[in-house]
Amino acid sequence: MKLLELQNRIKSTIGDAAREAFQIDLDQLAAEVPPRTELGDLAFPVAFELAKQLKQKTGEKRPPRTIAEALKPKLESIEFVQQVEVAGAGYLNVFFDRAKLLSALTAKSVGSPAESIDRRKLMVEHTSINPNKSAHIGHVRNSVIGDTFVRSLQAAGNRVEVQNYIDNTGVQVADVVVGFMHIENMTLDDIKKLDASLPPEEPFDHYCWDLYTRVGLFYRDGNLDGEQNPEKLKLRAEILHAIEEGNNPIAELADYVATRNVEQILDTMERLGIRYDLLARESEILHLHFWERAFQLMKERGAIHFVSEGRTRGCWVMPFESHTGTEEHESDKIIVRSNGTVTYTGKDIAYQLWKLGKLGLDFNYKPFRSYADGHATWVTTTEPNAETQPEVPRPDFGGGAIVYNVIDSRQSYPQEIVRKGVAAVVPEVGEEASVHLSYEMVALSPAACEELGIELSDEDRKRPYIEMSGRKGLGVKADDLINRLEADALAEVIARHPDLTDTEQRETAHAIAVGALRYFLLKFTRNSVIAFDFKEALSFEGETGPYCQYAAVRANSIFRKLETAELTVIDSERSHPSNAATETLSGEAGDEIWSLLMLAARLEEANSQAAASAEPAVLAKYTFNLAKAFNLFYHRHRIIAEENETKRAMLINVADYTRQQLTSALETLGISVPERM
């Protein structure tokens, strides 16, 4: 049984009782965890709300405590509820029958695992890195938030499709192509040869990272603060045009560059356990005429109109009344430029409509990459659907009920326009169907800049953080950071476990590195700017992923030892809790054990809150608190040495349940538990 079920049962009983006694329907009922164990396992401040509503309805003033007393008897008849107390100004505090609930919670579940009835498809787009350079730590925050959100949704029983948008025909790709063609004077063959010759630790995407910053200088004739040279910008415009057009040598070259970058970004993400179902490419949005269809729909619905005079003459614009126009800033958003080309916003509206299954067109697909466990990542293509791998059946892509776009908060304005544009075309799904899952950027702490050898102005030094910049090459590459984490972890593992094989040591170090990085990025809530600091990110102690992993590893080692000692769990304690169990769970010592169990039982609640609020930090904090509570328990109780058999059996039950919940929580965070560490 899950604690959440019991909690919901109590809630509905309270709702019934309130209706019966006061003829009041409570639409939402808050359940809280009391601040101290002595105050019970669950608290309901419902009497305050009822007092307010009663006063409004009848004018009658009733003290909350009296109301709570009236509700109390009904709750006491619920199974697993031992007693109910009215406390404070009118709290209803529920106490569970500990021994009975313990056996119910830890009993092996036989039923169906995820009984989700809602089979609507949810769609999450994340990562979406411009395929012209390697991923940096800011991109990784996007991917880790997105991936963890996906895992959270899945753990809560949802069906999810993961997309990664590839802007393979954009300005940023064009920039790197300018670099290859006009700085390096390379042909496609030269680039391929270069790619093949690069060392694994500094691969093609890293090369592009450096080249991209050189292009920035190239446009400014070598002076980063200087004006851009119009002649050189013309090169970019020409290349961009050729890429958009397709079917020419420049487009072919650009496709090679973009695809190689995508492959290596996917390699980086694979290191962190992050995968995708579909890579949706902008080239197909163009060539399969998604925009034309969206344009037609927008015109039909009157979402956009043609401007025949004024500053935006010749453009198709979308009115955007919530922002007032000024001399500098237009209140209307241009969707089609006066030269007839479509803006990014327009393309994104088309893509968004497709995602929601409302465009009336579809991509063609081909496999991009498959994994040992059978997972496959697909990519969009203009070629007819090719079932080149019949053993890998193609899923139905698109048609999401709700679409979540993980995009940093700097893009909240354009995202708002996209959302309104979509809602204007398909009012029946409305603005609610597109969710901008925004998060703040990762910036660099002044100390981090110093460590990277970046010179700061006096002005910058006073700032709390410095924004990263791809154009200036200012940032921490994801691969470099992961390498460093792995090296640090490996040194520790070798020192602690010299007996392990080289492969085992490396795998363990890898798991620790992933745990450290993912947790570091998840412990901040989404709307908090992360000022990246090496010392903090590289830490394995305190509130970190490795701390949580360590707790689980220690728990597992108890059970490894138990097996070899043949001291298995007394199963009868589970089905028939004895009086002795009740006794061990009471008193101060019992409170401590019980509070660990209650915390472990709240995993489902924590996860559904994380999923509902799209805030993975909630689950990260929960996991850390559970690990901390377990470490305390571990320190206080010698399980194997415990002589009282009943007590030992109970301790084993609690430890077993806790490690399962902890492991499961970590899995949802994308963090694995190594054998030893």
Q: What is the footprint of RNA within residues 635-674 (CB under 7 A)?
A: 635-641
Instruction: Return the number of the residue (202 or 467) whose C-beta is nearest RNA.
Output: 467
Q: Which of residues 461-500 bind RNA (CB under 7 A)?
A: 463-464, 467, 489, 492-493, 496-497
Distances in Å between the alpha carbon of 433 and those of 353, 401, 403, 430, 482? 10, 7, 6, 6, 36
- Residue 111 binds to RNA (criterion: CB under 7 A): no
- Angle between helical axes of 587-601 and 645-668 (0-180°, round to 10): 30
CB of 349 to RNA, least distance (A): 12
CB of 389 to RNA, least distance (A): 31
- Residue 69 binds to RNA (criterion: CB under 7 A): no
CB of 622 to RNA, least distance (A): 9
- Residue 53 binds to RNA (criterion: CB under 7 A): no
- Residue 314 binds to RNA (criterion: CB under 7 A): yes
- As a whole number of angstroms, the distance between CA 404 and CA 36 comes to 38
Which residue in the set 309, 321, 541, 643 belongs to the binding site for RNA (CB under 7 A)?
A: 541
**Which runs of E-coded beta strand occur in 537-627?**
none
Query: Considering only 47-55, 133-141, 360-368, 579-587, which stretch makes contact with RNA by CB under 7 A?
Result: 47-55
The per-residue DSSP string of 611-638 comes to HHTT-HHHHHHHHHHHHHHHHHHHHH--
Instruction: Return the number of the residue (87 or 426) whose C-beta is nearest RNA.
Output: 87
Q: What are phi and psi of 409, to 5 degrees?
A: -65, -15
Q: How many residues does the chain have?
A: 677
Instruction: Return the number of the residue (202 or 440) whose C-beta is nearest RNA.
Output: 440
Query: Considering only 15-23, 24-32, 211-219, 286-294, which stretch makes contact with RNA by CB under 7 A?
Result: 24-32
Instruction: Return the number of the residue (104 or 505) whose C-beta is nearest RNA.
Output: 505
Q: Which of 34, 19, 23, 81 is nearest to 73 (CA)?
A: 81
Instruction: Return the number of the residue (476 or 639) whose C-beta is nearest RNA.
Output: 639
Any idea what the Cα angle at residue 24 is, between residues 22 and 27, rounded to 5°?
145
- Residue 385 binds to RNA (criterion: CB under 7 A): no
- Residue 91 binds to RNA (criterion: CB under 7 A): yes
Which residue in the set 41, 49, 161, 205 belongs to the binding site for RNA (CB under 7 A)?
A: 49
CB of 39 to RNA, least distance (A): 5
- Residue 542 binds to RNA (criterion: CB under 7 A): yes
- Residue 621 binds to RNA (criterion: CB under 7 A): yes
- Residue 236 binds to RNA (criterion: CB under 7 A): no
- Amino acid in position 417: I
Buried b (16+ CB within 10 A) or exposed e, 360-372: eebbebbebbeee
Q: What three-state secondary structure class fits 134?
A: coil
Instruction: Return the number of the residue (215 or 639) whose C-beta is nearest RNA.
Output: 639
Instruction: Return the number of the residue (87 or 401) whose C-beta is nearest RNA.
Output: 87
Distances in Å between the alpha carbon of 322 and those of 331, 334, 413, 439, 624? 8, 15, 11, 23, 42
- Residue 144 binds to RNA (criterion: CB under 7 A): no
Q: What are phi and psi of 78, to 5 degrees?
A: -75, 140
- Residue 309 binds to RNA (criterion: CB under 7 A): no
Query: Considering only 365-373, 378-386, 420-428, 614-622, which stretch makes contact with RNA by CB under 7 A?
Result: 614-622
CB of 402 to RNA, least distance (A): 19
- As a whole number of angstroms, the distance between CA 631 and CA 661 comes to 14
Q: Which of 265, 4, 224 is nearest to 128 (CA)?
A: 265
Q: Which of 29, 14, 26, 119 is nearest to 74 (CA)?
A: 14
Instruction: Return the number of the residue (259 or 525) whose C-beta is nearest RNA.
Output: 525
- As a whole number of angstroms, the distance between CA 10 and CA 31 comes to 10
Instruction: Find out whether 156 and 120 touch, Cβ atoms under 8 Å.
Output: no
Query: Considering only 48-56, 251-259, 367-375, 379-387, which stretch makes contact with RNA by CB under 7 A?
Result: 48-56
Which residue in the set 89, 183, 233, 386 belongs to the binding site for RNA (CB under 7 A)?
A: 89
Query: Number of H helices and number of E strands within the chain?
Result: 26, 16
- Residue 454 binds to RNA (criterion: CB under 7 A): no
- Residue 288 binds to RNA (criterion: CB under 7 A): no
**Site size for RNA (CB under 7 A):** 107
Residue 362: HSE in the Cβ half-sphere, 13 Å Cα cutoff: 9
Contacts of residue 381, defined as CB under 8 A and 6 or more positions apart, other chains included, come to 284, 363, 364, 365, 366
Q: Which of residues 354-383 bind RNA (CB under 7 A)?
A: none
Neighbouring CB atoms inside 10 A of 527's CB total 10
Q: Which of 650, 629, 648, 628 is nearest to 639 (CA)?
A: 648
CB of 194 to RNA, least distance (A): 26
Query: Considering only 133-141, 256-264, 424-432, 553-561, which stretch makes contact with RNA by CB under 7 A?
Result: 553-561
Any idea what the Cα angle at residue 292 is, between residues 288 and 293, rounded to 5°?
90
Which residue in the set 7, 103, 127, 130 belongs to the binding site for RNA (CB under 7 A)?
A: 130
- Residue 48 binds to RNA (criterion: CB under 7 A): yes
For β-strands 376-381 and 364-370, DSSP reports them as antiparallel
Q: Which of residues 163-202 bind RNA (CB under 7 A)?
A: 167, 170-172
Q: Which of residues 412-451 bind RNA (CB under 7 A)?
A: 412-414, 440
Instruction: Find out whether 145 and 616 touch, Cβ atoms under 8 Å.
Output: yes
- Residue 156 binds to RNA (criterion: CB under 7 A): no
Bridge partners, residue 85, by sequence? 93
Bridge partners, residue 92, by sequence? 44, 86
CB of 306 to RNA, least distance (A): 12
Instruction: Find out whether 526 and 145 touch, Cβ atoms under 8 Å.
Output: yes
Instruction: Return the number of the residue (250 or 553) whose C-beta is nearest RNA.
Output: 553
Instruction: Return the number of the residue (184 or 451) whose C-beta is nearest RNA.
Output: 451
Site string for RNA, 328-357 (x = CB under 7 A): xxx---x--xxx-x-xxx------------
Instruction: Find out whether 520 and 536 touch, Cβ atoms under 8 Å.
Output: yes
CB of 595 to RNA, least distance (A): 12
Query: Considering only 264-272, 408-416, 449-457, 569-577, which stretch makes contact with RNA by CB under 7 A?
Result: 408-416
- Residue 589 binds to RNA (criterion: CB under 7 A): no
Which residue in the set 288, 531, 599, 601 belongs to the binding site for RNA (CB under 7 A)?
A: 531
- Residue 216 binds to RNA (criterion: CB under 7 A): no
Instruction: Return the number of the residue (366 or 497) whose C-beta is nearest RNA.
Output: 497
